[in-house]
Structure 1
Amino acid sequence: MKKNQIIYITGQLGGTLFRQEARQEAERLGLTGIARIQSDGELRIETEGDEEALEIFIKWCKAGPDGTTVKGVRVQDGPLQGYDKFLEMH
């Protein structure tokens, strides 16, 4: 079943590195959504797709790509938005 989850990530995320790697991982898993850094520096990723793929993606977010340090991850369910691809916003 398709689901929407909003993931908030804090830490040393390497500027655009985490967003770029998150987009690549999401696309590999067949997920769609959007990633953007909020004004407080927290990364917000809203992603949609199969529940199993979302679980794998969240696990990946908790580890982060090489060169980043994840300090915290919060996840909440959101309403489906119908994204057709994964976007990185600046």
Structure 2
Amino acid sequence: MKVSAHVYISGRVQGVFFRSQTQRKAHEHNITGWIKNLSDGRVEAVFEGEEKDVRILTDFCKLGPTGARVEKTEVILLKFTGEFDDFQIIW
């Protein structure tokens, strides 16, 4: 079953390659959507794909890449929209 997840990640998550490592992982698991830094220091992302693959990405966000220190991850599951063709970093 395909699902969508809207994710907010707090902690030391900017300047530690969080977005690029998440994008790499998304490509490995055929996830579409986007990821961006927020002005308040958090990272925001939307993942769409097979439920098991979206879960892999949300689990990755709870740990983050080497150098990150994730303090909180908020995951909101939504209905799959199919609106994305790929996974992009939004600048």
Q: Note the residue ranges of structure 2 that are not aligned, 5 or more in a row.
A: none
What per-residue deviation string (whole Å, max 9, x for no partner) do you get for residues 15-52 of structure 1?
Answer: 26100000000110110100011221211110100001
Structure 2 residue identity aligned to 1:70: V
RMSD: 1.3
Distance between the aligned counterparts of 2:82 and 2:15, measured in 1?
26
Report the TM-score, using the length of structure 1 for normalisation.
0.92
Structure 2 residue identity aligned to 1:54: V
Aligned residue in 2 for 1:59: 59
Aligned residue in 2 for 1:44: 44
Distance between the aligned counterparts of 1:51 and 1:83, measured in 2?
16
Give the paired residue count.
90
Q: Note the residue ranges of structure 1 that are not aligned, 5 or more in a row.
A: none
Contact kept? 1:14, 1:67, Cα under 8 Å: no
Where does structure 1 differ by over 6 angstroms across 4 or more consecutive aligned residues?
none
